């Protein structure tokens, strides 16, 4: 890895806030006089970051409430290590206490059930109503179960797991792997892109293989990918499967899953023959979290929400902003936790400016780094920088900025763990 690349990674691991923050013109005056009520739906990577930064950048002038049903934040990034067995759920779990105690964010443990964008009110499942001046939705993803009839019921979903929202399913899938006999086959089905975390499934294959290599050397990992080829860091993952996990991992592209026979543990595909598994892990096709539909902000393919990248305000509904995995991404922009954090900072700055009667920053810059753990210690990365293009009115990757690892290494593994600790602190401490 070049010195330049190493410096970029160190900066990006240690200073997740710097790119968005330093490029804000008028930073010194930012937040002066901003007041009003902001309601945020979802306390994940996008929502929690936006909450903290709106409070900080408005000098506490803006009231912020985050609605989140889960009692604690559980990170999807690094959750594949729980499947490998080198980490547990506690490692991924962070309290919401600092958001309230240090930053004065109201954390409301409830679910947003409906949104009245005319009256600017969020209705909660618990019965309360929260009025807003600006609403921020960062509800993550929901699964398109209707695409897989055999899994469109709760019993089937409790047996064929996705573990694509970290939490109880992560632990349950680990138990299925532990119970699988040596010599068994673990099948990982990947949906056609776009989906949450492009390299995530391939990292998962590595983590399960790492476990099998040590404990069940005759067991196999079979990746059945709906895409024609590996969608992220392809050569690096393929090298790991050919060398580190030789004889354990098999990759097959163009396997678009159409149904699952749950009792027979058999998957059916658009073209290929059926495949039987001992443990079946199905990552379903995805769309914006359901509450986005209630707000009327789903605009792209009945799945995702188009936004104005200067403010992350919906292109359709005024005063409603959308962040994270729920948005219709710009070219080259991944659906990642790091990117959701960056959306949140651009949006937080814009909301503070707008509520202070100022124009938003006209030249936002965002960055992304995605690490993938190949073993319990070694990692690879991909990183990119994305900048507003005023002619095309979108954000585009900056040519020559970013890149990928030359090879997996323990040094990158150290950076990956530092990245996780830093982003959890940046979001929630
Ligand atoms: C296995 C795996 C590995 C990954 N690895 C990485 C990685 O290494 N690096 C990386 O950058 N990204 C990674 N990601 C992707 C990352 O997790 C997502 O991109 C990120 O979580 C998106 O943030 P978000 O705010 O959009 O959604 P989330 O973080 O999922 O937050 C959404 C929140 O909204 C809440 N919510 C939903 N609906 C409602 C409602 N109606 N009312 C109230 N609350 C609601 C949910 O409970 C949830 O807490 C990984 C993902 C997976 C699955």
Q: Whose CA is nearest to atom 29 of ligand 1?
A: 44
> Which H or E run contains 375?
none
Ligand 1 atom closest to the Cα of residue 46 is 25
Give bridge partners of residue 313 from the DSSP assignment: 308, 321
- Residue 25 burial by CB count (10 A; 0-12/13-18/19+): exposed, middle or buried? exposed
Q: Which long-range contacts (CB under 8 A, 24 or more apart) does 172-179 make?
A: 173/83, 173/279, 173/281, 174/82, 174/83, 174/85, 176/279, 177/83, 177/208, 177/211, 177/279
Query: Running DSSP on this structure, what letter comes out for residue 376?
Result: S
Contact between 68 and 345 under an 8 Å Cβ cutoff? The reply is: no
Residue 212 phi, psi dihedral angles, 5° rounding: -60, -45
Type and span of the H or E element at 44: none
- Tens of pLDDT along the chain (429 residues) come to 444 444 444 444 434 543 343 334 344 456 678 999 999 999 999 999 999 999 999 999 999 999 999 999 999 999 999 999 999 999 999 999 999 999 999 999 999 999 999 999 999 999 999 999 999 999 999 999 999 999 999 999 999 999 999 999 999 999 999 999 999 999 999 999 999 999 999 999 999 999 999 999 999 999 999 999 999 999 999 999 999 999 999 999 999 999 999 999 999 999 999 999 999 999 999 999 999 999 999 999 999 999 999 999 999 999 999 999 999 999 999 999 999 999 999 999 999 999 999 999 999 999 999 999 999 999 999 999 999 999 999 999 999 999 999 999 999 999 999 999 999 999 999
CB atoms < 10 A from the CB of 393, how many?
10
Residue 76 in contact with ligand 1 by CB distance below 6 A: yes
Residue 299 region by backbone torsions, left for phi larger than 0, else alpha for psi between -120 and 50, else beta:
alpha
Residues 366, 19 contacting (CB under 8 angstroms) = yes
111 lines ligand 1 (CB under 6 A): yes
The kind and range of the H/E element at 12 are helix 3-14
The phi and psi torsions of 151 (rounded to 5 degrees) equal -110, 10
- 270's torsion region: left (phi>0), alpha (psi -120 to 50) or beta? alpha
Q: How far is the CA of 336 from the centre of ligand 1 (A)?
A: 8
- Preceding omega of 194 cis (within 30 degrees of 0): yes
- Nearest atom, ligand 1, residue 340 CA: 23
Contact criterion met (CB below 8 Å) for 226 and 255:
yes
Q: Kindly provide the residue ranges of all beta strands, DSSP E only, lying in 262-337, ordered along the sequence.
A: 266-269, 275-276, 279-282, 286-288, 307-308, 313-314, 320-322
Angstrom distance (rounded) from CA 352 to CA 355 = 5
* Residue 187 CA to its chain's centroid (Å): 22
CA 343 to CA 270: how far, in whole Å? 36
H-only helix segments in 153-280: 154-159, 168-179, 200-215, 234-242
Distance in Å, CA 423 to ligand 1 centroid: 13
Torsion angle of alpha carbons 295, 297, 299, 303, nearest 10°?
Answer: -70
In terms of phi and psi (left: phi > 0; alpha: psi -120 to 50; beta: otherwise), the region of 405 is beta
What is the rounded distance in angstroms from the CA atom of residue 317 to the CA atom of residue 210?
Answer: 47
Residue 67 beta carbon below 6 angstroms from any ligand 1 atom: yes
Rg of the chain's alpha carbons, rounded to an integer? 21
Token pair recorded at residue 104: 């004065």
289 touches ligand 1 (CB under 6 Å)? yes
Q: Around 306, how many Cα atoms within 13 Å sit in the side-chain half-sphere?
A: 9
Pocket test for ligand 1, best of 106, 137, 197 (most atoms within 8 A of CB): 197
């Amino acid at each position: 890895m070049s010195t330049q690349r190493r410096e970029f990674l160190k900066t990006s691991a240690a200073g997740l806030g710097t790119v968005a923050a330093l490029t804000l013109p008028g930073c010194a005056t930012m937040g002066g006089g901003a007041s009003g009520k902001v309601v945020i739906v979802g306390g994940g990577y996008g929502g929690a970051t936006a909450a903290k930064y709106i409070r900080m950048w408005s000098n506490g002038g803006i009231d912020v409430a985050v609605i989140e049903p889960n009692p604690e934040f559980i990170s999807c990034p690094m959750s594949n290590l729980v499947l490998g067995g080198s980490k547990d759920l506690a490692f991924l779990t962070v309290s919401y206490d600092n958001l309230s105690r240090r930053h004065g964010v109201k954390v409301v443990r409830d679910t947003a059930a409906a949104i009245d964008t005319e009256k600017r009110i969020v209705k909660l499942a618990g019965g309360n109503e929260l009025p807003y001046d600006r609403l921020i939705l960062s509800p993550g993803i929901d699964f398109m179960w209707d695409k897989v009839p055999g899994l469109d019921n709760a019993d089937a979903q409790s047996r064929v797991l996705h573990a694509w929202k970290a939490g109880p399913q992560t632990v349950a899938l680990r138990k299925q792997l532990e119970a699988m006999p040596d010599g068994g086959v673990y099948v990982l089905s990947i949906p056609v892109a776009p989906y949450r975390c492009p390299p995530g499934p391939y990292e998962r294959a590595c983590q399960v293989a790492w476990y099998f290599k040590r404990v069940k050397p005759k067991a196999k990992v079979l990746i059945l990918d709906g895409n024609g080829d590996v969608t992220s860091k392809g050569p690096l993952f393929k090298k790991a499967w050919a060398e580190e996990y030789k004889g354990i991992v098999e990759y097959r592209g163009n396997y678009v899953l159409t149904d699952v026979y749950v009792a027979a543990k058999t998957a059916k595909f658009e073209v290929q023959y059926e495949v039987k598994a001992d443990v079946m892990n199905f990552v379903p096709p995805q769309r914006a979290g359901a509450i986005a539909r209630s707000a009327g902000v789903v605009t792209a393919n009945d799945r995702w929400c188009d936004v104005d990248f200067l403010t992350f305000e919906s292109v359709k509904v005024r005063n409603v902003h959308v962040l994270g995995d729920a948005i219709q991404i710009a070219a080259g922009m991944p659906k990642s936790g790091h990117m959701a954090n960056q959306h949140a900072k651009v949006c937080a700055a814009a909301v503070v400016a707008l509520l202070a009667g100022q124009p938003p920053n006209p030249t936002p810059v965002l960055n992304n780094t995605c690490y993938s753990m190949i073993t319990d210690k070694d990692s690879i990365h991909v990183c990119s920088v994305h900048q507003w293009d005023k002619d095309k009115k979108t954000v585009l990757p900056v040519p020559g900025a970013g890149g990928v690892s030359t090879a997996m290494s323990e040094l990158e593994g150290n950076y990956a763990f530092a990245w996780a600790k830093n982003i959890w602190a940046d979001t929630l401490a």
